[in-house]
């Protein structure tokens, strides 16, 4: 899955516009990157931890000439998966269903439907008589 597919899937799941999801994802990446640059850890409980690790200096080899060369020490970003993520990936647990968009879609019509019957109570007898007349003509 690439970034565009991720944005599309999150937009479908949340019911938000793709542009809004893109800005949110960019802000998330920017925040995590900034924290790692400072040396902080970013922990998302159940998902995992982003952290900065030190890689020691070492001696490597040039693959073309096989001559030894020194590789400098470096700070590298790392991700350590959380228990919940590991369990889901290994099939020991099921991924919880996301109900954000479904809950919003179900909540909107329920509110409208609950408000309308009280208003239409007086209009229902007129509609029934009109429906009976239409039925007799057929």
- Work out the average pLDDT over 93-112: 64
pLDDT at 115: 52
- Work out the average pLDDT over 30-39: 96
pLDDT at 85: 94
The structure tokens 């479904």 sit at 102
pTM for the whole thing? 0.64
The structure tokens 């994802």 sit at 25
Answer yes or no: is 3 within a domain.
Answer: no
Task: Say if CB 39 and CB 60 are below 8 A apart.
Answer: no
**CA separation (Å) from 120 to 108, 109, 111, 114, 129?**
19, 16, 15, 11, 15
Answer yes or no: is 6 within a domain.
Answer: no
Answer yes or no: is 137 within a domain.
Answer: yes
Answer yes or no: is 21 within a domain.
Answer: no
Please state the domain count of the chain: 1
Answer yes or no: is 118 within a domain.
Answer: yes
Answer yes or no: is 94 within a domain.
Answer: no
Q: Give the residue numbers spanning the domain of 132.
A: 99-138
The yes-or-no verdict on residue 121 having pLDDT over 70 is no
Answer yes or no: is 132 within a domain.
Answer: yes
Answer yes or no: is 130 within a domain.
Answer: yes
Helix (H, G, I), strand (E, B) or coil at 46: coil
The yes-or-no verdict on residue 64 having pLDDT over 60 is yes
- Work out the average pLDDT over 83-106: 78
- Work out the average pLDDT over 68-93: 94
- Work out the average pLDDT over 59-71: 95
């Amino acid at each position: 899955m690439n970034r565009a597919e991720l944005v599309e899937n999150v937009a479908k799941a949340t019911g938000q516009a793709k542009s809004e999801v893109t800005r949110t994802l960019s802000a998330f990446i920017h925040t995590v990157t900034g924290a790692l640059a400072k040396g902080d850890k970013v922990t998302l409980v159940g998902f995992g931890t982003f952290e900065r690790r030190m890689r020691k200096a070492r001696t490597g080899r040039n693959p073309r000439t096989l001559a030894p060369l020194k590789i400098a020490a470096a700070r590298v970003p790392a991700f350590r998966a959380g228990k919940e993520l590991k369990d889901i990936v290994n099939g020991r647990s099921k991924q919880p269903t996301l109900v954000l968009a479904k809950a919003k879609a179900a909540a909107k019509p329920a509110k409208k439907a609950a408000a309308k019957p009280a208003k239409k109570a007086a209009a229902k007898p007129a509609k029934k008589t009109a429906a009976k007349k239409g039925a007799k003509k057929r």
